[in-house]
Chain A
């Protein structure tokens, strides 16, 4: 099993450019998440999708949009990148509410906006 797969692994954008981060999971999980991680800080939730067809804002949603394409895939879009969005982005999935709801993470996308 691949688990959670994120693409790309690295990306450099110019201010104002747009891009979409892709995420797919093969564990049949209902819930998927997008986090950003900045130096010295924990993970901050950008958006999450509790189940297929639903998305909700997290702590830091401004400047981002998401799409839950199907149960497997959850994408994150930056419409007009800003230097403040330079960060490491992690996608995660879990079977929320079923006993131990361990979150499985992708390898991360290291994004630099110049």
Chain B
């Protein structure tokens, strides 16, 4: 079946550095949703992208949906300790989730 590949699995950054996670699908996605899961918590919705080439921003977070609707990215500028967690992409229509990227802030 269709899979959504998400990379990297982990990213270690110094506080203040940028962070990016990518989702790639071999087939066209219906939409892309992004969720954040804090350690020990449950996924919390961040945003949904539907249109080809769509870009949305939420403060320091920038979300993009590829022109072919087969890939998406989440970029965080100047990470803060509150950004720690695992970020997941999902095609909510086809109910497929990426494996997540864990953001770790180096001490």
Task: State the A residues within 8 Å of B (CB).
Answer: 33, 35, 40-45, 48, 58-59, 90, 94, 96, 100-108
Contact = CB atoms under 8 A, between A and B. Distances in A.
B85 interface: no
Interface string B51-87: 0000000000000000000000000000000000000
A96 B48 CA distance: 13
Give the 5 A-B residue pairs with the shortest CB-CB distance, closest first.
A42-B97, A105-B42, A102-B45, A42-B99, A43-B97
Contacts, number: 48
Interface residues of B, number: 21
Given A40-B9, A42-B99, A42-B100, A94 B42 contact: no
Interface string B2-19: 001010010000000000
A103 B1 contact: no
A59 B4 CA distance: 13
Interface string B87-107: 010101101011110000000
